[in-house]
Amino acid sequence: MAGIVKQDLIDFENEIAELFRAGKIRAPVHLRSGCEEQLIDIFKDIQAEDWVYGYWAMHIHCLLKGVPREQLKQAILEGHSISLCFPEQRIYCSGIVGSLAGVAMGTAWGLKRQKKSGNVYLFTGDMGAECGVFHEAVKYAHNFDLPIKFIVEDNGVSVMTDTRKTWGSDKPWFKDTVYEKNILYYKYQNSWPHSGLGQRIAF
Amino acid sequence: MKYFDELKRTMEWAAKKPEVVFMGQAVGVPGTFMFNTLKEVSENQRVELPVSESFQMQMTVGAAFSGYTPISIFPRLNFLMLAMGDLCNIVDKLPDIYGAKPPKMIIRSAVGPDAPVHPGHQHIGDFTDAYRKIFNNIEVVRLDEPKDIFPAYEEALSPDNQKSYLMIEVGNYYGSK
C-alpha cells in the first residue's frame, strides 16, 4: 500500500493496545512488532487483485493490503481481530492454525485452471509452517507450479512454546529442499505478548 | 429411476454447468462405488486428488473462492471425519466469522455399504445426526430415496443459492433401491 511507512504501522498497533488496555475491545487481540520493514518490502509485490490469507495477527498485513485504517480499527473494536476478513481487499484470516494453507493453495489452483489473473499469498507463523497441511499445500503448489507464495514469519514461538525445541529440529523443514523457492522466510522479534498486553484488563 | 441411476443422471446434469468441478479420490479413475456415477462426466471436470482429507477440504474451499462450484467427494463418512476440523471450523464458520455468505460448494459423502461385503467398522459409519447437531450453517441433506436426489442438487446448484451442503448417500441403496 503506497504511502504507509513503518511508523504508521507501529502507531496503529499502539493505538489498538491502548484501546485494549482501556477495555474497549472484548475479544483477543494479537499485536505484532519487529516485522514492519519486512512486510512493507513484501507487500510491494502484492497487488489489489491478489489474495492474502493469514491467521490471528494480521493488523499490519491488512493495512498494507489496503484496508482503510478506520475500517480495520472498527472491525477490531467489534471483536474480529482474530479472524479479520475484508473481501473487497481480498484478505481472509482464521484463528485456527493451519486452516488456510490448503484454502490459499486451492484458490491459486482455481485461478490458474480458470486462467484468471492474480496471485495468492499465505502468511503463517513458524509453528504453522510445520503443520502437515502446510507441507502438503507447499508440495502441491510446487509440483503444479501454482501462483502462490508462502510467507513464513518466524518469531521462534507458538504462544510461548519453542517451535524448534518441540519439533526437535534447529531449522524449518523446508530449508535446503526443493520447496524452499516457494517460501519466503524471515525472522523477527515480537515485542508484544502472543495475545493481549500481558496484564489483566478490567472490563 | 433407481438410486444409482438418479445419482448418475444428477451428476451428469450438474456437469453441464461450467463452474462445477468434481474433486476427490477415485473421481478421475475407478476405485470406489461412487466412481460409476461420474464415468460419463468429462475428464476435464474430474480432478483426481491425493488422499488427504483435510487438504482436500481446504482446497475445496479455495476452489470455491476462486469461482468454481466444487462437488468434493469423500466416499465414506468415516473418511470425512478426517476433514471434520476444516468442515466445522472453516466451512461452517465462514458466515459467522466473516459475516459473509458461505462458499458455494457441495460435499458428497455416504454411509459406506456393508453388503454384499462387510468392509469393516471403520468404513460403514453413519454420523448424519451428529453432523446435523454440529453445524450451524452447512445444510445436511440425507438422500434416502431416489426421488430426493435430483431436487436436492437442483436446489443446491441454483444460481441464486449460496450455501454449503453436505449430501449424504447410503451405499447399500446403490444396488437395492
| Three-class SS of chain A | CCCCCHHHHHHHHHHHHHHHHCCCCCCCCCCCCCCHHHHHHHHCCCCCCCEEEECCCCHHHHHHHCCCHHHHHHHHHCCCHHHCEEHHHCEEECCCCCCCHHHHHHHHHHHHHCCCCCCEEEEEECCHHHCHHHHHHHHHHHHCCCCEEEEEEECCEECCEEHHHHHCCCCCCCCCCHHHHHEEEEECCCCCCCCCCCCCCCC
Share of chain A above pLDDT 90, in %: 90
Where along chain B do its domains lie? 3-176
Q: Classify B165 as helix, strand or coil.
A: strand
Considering just the CA atoms, what is the radius of gyration of chain A in Å? Answer: 17
Report, as an integer, the average pLDDT of A31-59. 97
Report residue A165 as a C-alpha cell: 525445541
* pLDDT score at A2: 62
Tens digit of pLDDT for each residue in A64-110?
Answer: 999 999 999 999 999 999 999 999 999 999 999 999 999 999 999 99
* pLDDT of residue A196 exceeding 90: no
How much is the pLDDT for A1? 61
What's the average model confidence in pLDDT over B6-30? 97
Query: For position B99, what pLDDT does the model report?
Result: 77
pLDDT at A76: 97
Compare CB distances from B89 to A80, A99, A116 and report the shortest one's residue.
A99
Type of residue numbered B100: A
Bridge partners, A37 (sequence order): none
Query: What pTM value is reported for the model?
Result: 0.96
- Which chain B residues touch A102 with a CB distance below 8 Å? 54-59, 61-62, 86
Which pairing describes strands A157-158 and A161-162: parallel, antiparallel, or unpaired? antiparallel
**Out of B55, B89, B98, whose CB is closest to A102?**
B55
Contacts of B100 in chain A (CB under 8 A): 85, 87
Question: What's chain A's average pLDDT?
Answer: 95
Q: What is the ipTM of this complex?
A: 0.95
Q: Would the pLDDT of A194 be above 80?
A: yes
Q: Which three cell numbers stand for residue B26?
A: 477415485
Residue with cell string 486452516:
A99
Alpha helices in B17-166 (DSSP H): 53-65, 77-80, 84-86, 94-98, 128-134, 146-156
Query: Measured between CA atoms, how close is B49 to chain A, in angstroms?
Result: 10
Q: What is the pLDDT of residue A126?
A: 96
Side by side, the strands of the sheet bearing A91-93 are A85-86, A91-93, A51-54, A120-125, A148-154, A183-187
Instruction: State yes or no: pLDDT of A187 exceeds 80.
Output: yes
Q: What is the pLDDT of residue B100?
A: 75
Calculate the average pLDDT of chain B: 95
Specify the 3-state DSSP secondary structure of B18: coil
Q: Would you mind telling me the total number of residues written for chain B in this entry?
A: 177
Name the CA radius of gyration of chain B, rounded: 15
Please name the member of A85, A104, A132 whose beta carbon is closest to the beta carbon of B62: A104
**Chain segment B79-127, per-residue pLDDT in tens:** 999 999 999 999 999 888 877 788 999 999 999 999 998 999 999 999 9
Residue of B nearest to A75 (CA): B98
Instruction: Tell me if chain A has a CB within 8 Å of the CB of B18.
Output: no
Beta carbons of A122 and A104 less than 8 angstroms apart:
yes
Pairing, β A157-158 against β B69-74: unpaired
Look at residue A200 and tell me whether its pLDDT is greater than 90. Answer: no
Has residue A41 got a pLDDT over 70?
Answer: yes
Separation CA B49–CA B70 (nearest Å): 13
Which whole-number Å values give the CA distances from B38 to A63, A109, B24, B59, B90, in the listed order? 45, 22, 12, 20, 28
pLDDT score at A201: 83
Measured CA angle at B85 (ends A129, A192), to 5 deg: 45
Percentage of chain B surpassing pLDDT 70?
A: 100
Determine the pLDDT at residue B97.
83
Question: A142, A109 in Cβ contact below 8 A?
Answer: no
Task: For an interface test with B, give the residue of A133, A142, A144 to mutate (most B CBs within 10 A).
Answer: A133
For residue A66, give every residue at least 6 positions away whose Cβ sits within 8 Å of its Cβ, in sequence order, or none.
A1, A48, A89
Q: Which CATH architecture has domain B3-176?
A: 3-Layer(aba) Sandwich (3.40)
How high is the pLDDT of residue B87? 95
Write out pLDDT tens, residues B35-82.
Answer: 999 999 999 999 999 999 999 999 999 999 999 999 999 999 999 999
Neighbours of B96 (CB within 10 A): 12
Q: How many Cβ contacts (< 8 angstroms) between chains A and B? A: 89
* pLDDT at position B158 over 80: yes
Buried-state track A162-182, b at ≥16 Cβ within 10 A, e below 16: ebbeeeeeeebebeeeebeeb
One-letter amino acid identity for B103? Answer: P
Put simply, the answer to whether B58 touches A133 (Cβ < 8 Å) is yes
